[in-house]
A = this chain, B = another copy of it.
């Protein structure tokens, strides 16, 4: 059966786990920062959806919104923070543990 004390799914971080937030953080972990049109296009998000999830991540200090200009055009970037990198790495460790546990269970009881 199942060992209650150690089930890795219990350790998933809800600040990070939601699909769109996990997608945003993994992209920003790769790119460092990215502007809004790029993120919208990459992840197929509406303005509202992107804004809502970035705001939630910024409230938790996991991303930072940066405003600036490129030439005369105003641009807005989202950048991952050190806390964001730490939270994402922790989530990835839990996901890796979940996958490993899933695969070993399937292997034992196919």
Contacts and interface: CB of A to CB of B under 8 A. Distances in A.
B22 A12 contact: yes
A56 interface: no
Total identical chains: 2
A53 to B, nearest CB: 12
Interface in A1-43: 1-2, 4, 7, 9-10, 12, 14, 17-19, 22-23, 26-27, 29-31, 34, 41-43
Interface residues of A, number: 36
A75 interface: no
Interface of A: 1-2, 4, 7, 9-10, 12, 14, 17-19, 22-23, 26-27, 29-31, 34, 41-44, 88-89, 92, 95-96, 98-99, 101-103, 105-106, 109
